[in-house]
Amino acid sequence: MFSGAQLSLYPMSDDFVGIIIGSLSALDPYRDACRIETDDVSTLLVGPPDQLFPAMRDFHAAASQGGVHCVLSATVSRGCPGEPDDPICAGTDGIAADDVPLADRVSNALKAVREAPITGQPVAAQFSLYPLGADRHMGEIYACIDFLKGSGVFDRSKHFCTKLRGDAGSVFAAVGQAFLAFGGTAERHVALDLTVSANSPSAT
């Protein structure tokens, strides 16, 4: 299996270089579990799917903690048939098996969000989930929406995406559970598009 994310950080500050470079140290605790590469456009995380969202949470929180308006944009994927298997992605920890009923997956995902660490950093996020190649994919998406509505961070449905709002710990946990619990087993290709904003001057 191959799982990973391409993410870009956008601090709205004259010191954007210092904020981005300084925030990369928040990824250091994940370097043993993930391969991390940064270039002039984005940072690549490749590793176990259950590690991707905590790493993104800490990266974004580090950049946002000074109160600057900061946006994280990420494309996340697992099980892509066009990527080679990578040993660093071995294991399917956190990925719900196909034979787990949707109601149980919703319940387990809600529990994971309730137990998420609280960061003290409020954020807003919007994301879209794409369970590619899955039979009855709309059933997976509708179950995911049911989960989000009960997660405590659901804000509203928007065209082509769902908006969340709350503490960064809970929001990233909710998006992570959407990615892990809905869409099928590790052999299935699941993609997710995510935008997270903190400290926006125009929050609504």
Domain ranges of the chain: 3-198
Backbone angles phi, psi at 101, to 5 degrees: -55, 150
Contacts of 164 (CB under 8 A, 6+ apart): 124, 125, 126, 127, 148, 151, 153, 154, 155, 171, 174, 175
Q: Quick one: pLDDT at residue 68? A: 94
pLDDT at res. 5: 97
pLDDT score, position 204: 62
Query: So what's the pLDDT on residue 160?
Result: 93
For the chain, residues with pLDDT lower than 50 are: none
The CATH class that applies to domain 3-198 reads alpha beta
Question: Residue 107 to residues 27, 143, 163, 186, 190: CA-CA distances in angstroms?
Answer: 30, 11, 20, 20, 20
What does the DSSP 8-state code read for residue 123? E
- Determine the distance from the C-alpha atom of residue 118 to the mean position of all C-alpha atoms in its chain, rounded to a whole number: 16
Q: What is the pLDDT of residue 186?
A: 66
